[in-house]
Amino acid sequence: MGLKETLKQKIEEHRPRTAKLMKEHGDVKIGEVTIEQAIGGARSVKCLVTDISYLDPEEGIRFRGKTIDETFACLPKVPGKGYPSVEAFWYFLLTGEAPTAQQAEEVIADFKARSQVPQYVIDVLRALPRDSHPMAMFSAAIVAMQRESKFSAYYKSGKFNKMNAWEPMYEESTDLLAKLPAIGAYIYRMKYKGDQHIPSNPDLDFGGNFAHMMGVDAPYDDVARMYFILHSDHESGNVSAHTTHLVASALSDAYYSLSAGINGLAGPLHGLANEEVLRWTQGFMEKLGGAEPTEELIEKALWDTLNSGQVIPGYGHAVLRKTDPRYTSQREFCLNTEGLKDYPLFKLVSMIYKVAPGVLTKQGKAKNPWPNVDAQSGVIQWYYGVTEYDFYTVLFGIGRAIGVLANITWDRALGYPIERPKSVTTAMLEKWAADA
Ligand code: NMX
Ligand code: MLT
């Protein structure tokens, strides 16, 4: 069975579970909301449902019930390569089942057939001022393609049926995802490589073709596969996933929804932190003026950052309370890669890892003093020659698209309604506080 048929079967098997919960157990309480949570960014409020990934504060992310290592191990690898294809992972996130090598090949072929970026998207990118942030370019390219939407066309067809709405959403999510490597690479080469572009290679998978169009040699193809899979999903409450889900809940199509999610990812407290980490480390090295970094110098620089009212980028998390396993996974990649393990930037990032948790703990504000994914990801990019760090969040965005597009396909499959939490006034909170 192919991906779409398997997905259809999974959806039909799943629907009665959601229907039963709503019909028979809809009034079962799963939490309470405090004033602190209402004012404080809804932290820990349980009001979203997804089966695609789950984030445990101590253990970190599981994709479809599997840890990062288990995920990499269960998926077929690209022949001759060390990592699975993004296409195999897309199959896994959508269905919860690891595809066979043959099924993964079918998805790779399907992506290829959908990967051509329309010329007008290139025209939109070229019309933007060249100093626009790559995330603004990426978001604009995505929303520019809204006219291609199969979901919106279905909605307007007059035959809209809630039970079938997942199909056009699945179709256009695949259409959109398949084009993202070429869009990302186009932005990169237009901005930083003298506007010299490398045509797509139809023999390659998503990650392989991205590395090829970026103009970066192997093993950057495996780095791209690893990077996109690691950044794909982090359950549903993070800003990019939640925004995509929220916008899609109004029956906005995948183009509007993903573009909105990408705009959220562009914030420095979210995905832009990977750019900020490199800016911080480069600024630190510049101030050293060629001197060797030491733990004492790093500690002083971290305190300077905190004392100037800024956050230490790449550290802390709203849910995690331990080192992010996505950090660890990339750290292990560095430790196991000849050249990278002794690379000065990796050594510096490792030294920061030794010092920063102690500094944050001493300051006593951050609930989690440990590093998140963004503290480590830029080192690997830098080592392979992608040093233009304002591009890094686009890499995150291509990866994040895999998770959020799988999620909005399932949102339509399960008929999730428009999202509309309730707001209250400060006076109401004051009254409830006085009455408590
Ligand atoms: N450096 C300095 N202060 C911090 C840090 C940090 N890395 N992390 C948290 N705090 C502060 C935070 O600003 C808050 O201060 P205040 O009371 O003055 O407002 C206090 O500690 C309590 O915050 P938490 O409850 O620990 O964290 P919260 O859930 O609000 O925010 C982050 C989570 C991730 C936004 C926060 O840890 C942060 O700003 N980290 C640095 C930016 C970063 O690395 N973001 C990337 C997250 C992962 N991603 O890719 O999206
Ligand atoms: C993410 O990957 O989305 C970040 O770690 C932020 C989060 O989960 O809140």
CA-324 nearest atom, ligand 2: 5
Task: Decide if 197 is catalytic.
Answer: no
414 falls within a domain: no
Distance in angstroms (rounded) separating the CA atoms of residues 162 and 144: 26
Rounded Cα gap, residues 200 and 230, in angstroms: 24
Distance between CA atoms of 176 and 366, rounded to whole angstroms? Answer: 37
Task: Measure the CA–CA gap between 130 and 276, rounded to whole angstroms.
Answer: 21
Q: Which residues contact 356 (CB under 8 A, 6 or more apart)?
A: 298, 302, 312, 315, 369, 371
In a domain, 367, yes or no: yes
**What's the domain range around 341?**
273-383
Q: Is residue 427 included in any domain, yes or no? A: no
Residue 357 within any structural domain of the chain = yes
Residue type, 262: I
Q: Which of 221, 222, 374, 411 is catalytic?
A: 374
Scan for tokens 């997905």, then name that residue.
7
pLDDT band of residue 235 (cuts 50, 70, 90) is very high
Q: Is 359 within a domain?
A: yes
For the stretch 145-158, pLDDT in tens is: 999 999 999 999 99
Classify residue 365 by its DSSP letter: -
The predicted pLDDT at position 13 comes to 98
Confidence of residue 375 (pLDDT cuts 50, 70, 90): very high
Residue 297 lies in a domain: yes
* Residue 317 CA to ligand 1 centre (angstroms): 6
pLDDT mean over 253-273: 99
pTM of the predicted model, to two decimals?
0.98
DSSP state of 337: S
Question: Per the structure, how many domains does the chain have?
Answer: 1
Residue 270 catalytic?
yes
Mean pLDDT over each residue of the chain, to the nearest integer: 98
Q: Residue 367 Cα, ligand 2 centroid: separation in angstroms?
A: 15
Rounded Cα–Cα distance for residues 64 and 94 (Å): 9
Q: What percent of the chain has pLDDT over 70?
A: 100
Q: What CATH number corresponds to the domain at position 343?
A: 1.10.230.10
Q: What is the pLDDT of residue 4?
A: 98
126-147 b/e (C-beta count within 10 Å ≥ 16 → b): eeeeeeebbbebbbbbbbbbbe
- The reply to whether 234 belongs to the active site is no
What pLDDT score was predicted for residue 137? Answer: 99
Query: What 3-state DSSP class applies to 116?
Result: coil
Given 234, 270, 324, 411, the catalytic residue: 270
